[in-house]
């Protein structure tokens, strides 16, 4: 990093592959923890701690038919879903980290990030319906929406703090060219 990049947040910084991976790892963990924390709070308020990861773990391991019958709080389904959950968020975090480095150089990537966000939101609802959790009436759509918004906000905040010049790039998108 040059002195100009360290001082001026409007100057895009050079990013190595290891920085992209580390930023993606941290962003993914932030998103995963926010979602897990949100559902833990909801589960605790309902008097059934770890119910959501147990439900989703049973759907992941055994299919929605078995999960529809009963949901027991067992370590294996919870651990399996937690591992899947964190791996998925880390993968998304790495992709977002890479896109943010592109965004610093090419402000038009803002629209790619916006479309990706919308696609992820829609994708989660389709996955929810495909896995049967929504059909079982146990995982409400509004809780998934809030969880995804929390994750997106946390991940975006972290990545924007790591890439402060992207906000300048968004401003450039709306400027009229002579």
- Evaluate the CA torsion angle 7, 9, 13, 19 in order and state its sign: positive
- Evaluate the CA torsion angle 116, 84, 145, 94 in order and state its sign: negative
Q: How many residues are given for the chain?
A: 178
Are 34 and 150 spatial neighbours (Cβ–Cβ below 8 Å)?
yes
Residue of 94, 86, 89 whose CA lies nearest to 159: 94
Give residue-wise pLDDT tens across range 64-109.
676 666 788 999 999 999 999 999 999 999 999 998 888 888 777 7
The token pair that represents 115 in the structure block: 């479309």
The token pair that represents 17 in the structure block: 């592959």
For residue 1, the model assigns a pLDDT of: 46
Give residue-wise pLDDT tens across range 30-58.
999 999 999 999 999 999 999 999 988 88
């Amino acid at each position: 990093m040059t002195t100009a990049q360290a001082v001026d947040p409007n100057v895009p910084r050079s990013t190595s592959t290891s920085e992209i991976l580390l930023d993606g790892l941290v962003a993914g963990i932030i998103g995963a923890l926010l979602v897990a924390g949100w559902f833990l709070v909801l589960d605790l308020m309902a008097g059934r701690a770890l119910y959501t990861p147990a439900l989703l773990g049973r759907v992941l391991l055994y299919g929605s038919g078995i999960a529809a019958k009963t949901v027991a709080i067992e370590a294996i389904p919870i651990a399996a879903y937690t591992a899947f959950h964190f791996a998925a968020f880390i993968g998304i975090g790495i992709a977002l980290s890479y896109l943010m480095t592109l965004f610093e150089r090419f402000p038009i990537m803002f629209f790619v990030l916006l479309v990706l966000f919308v696609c992820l939101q829609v994708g989660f609802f389709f996955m929810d319906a495909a896995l049967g959790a929504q059909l079982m009436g146990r995982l409400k759509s509004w809780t998934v929406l809030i969880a995804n918004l929390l994750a997106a906000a946390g991940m975006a905040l972290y990545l924007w703090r790591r890439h402060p010049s992207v906000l300048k790039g968004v401003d450039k998108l709306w400027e009229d060219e002579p």
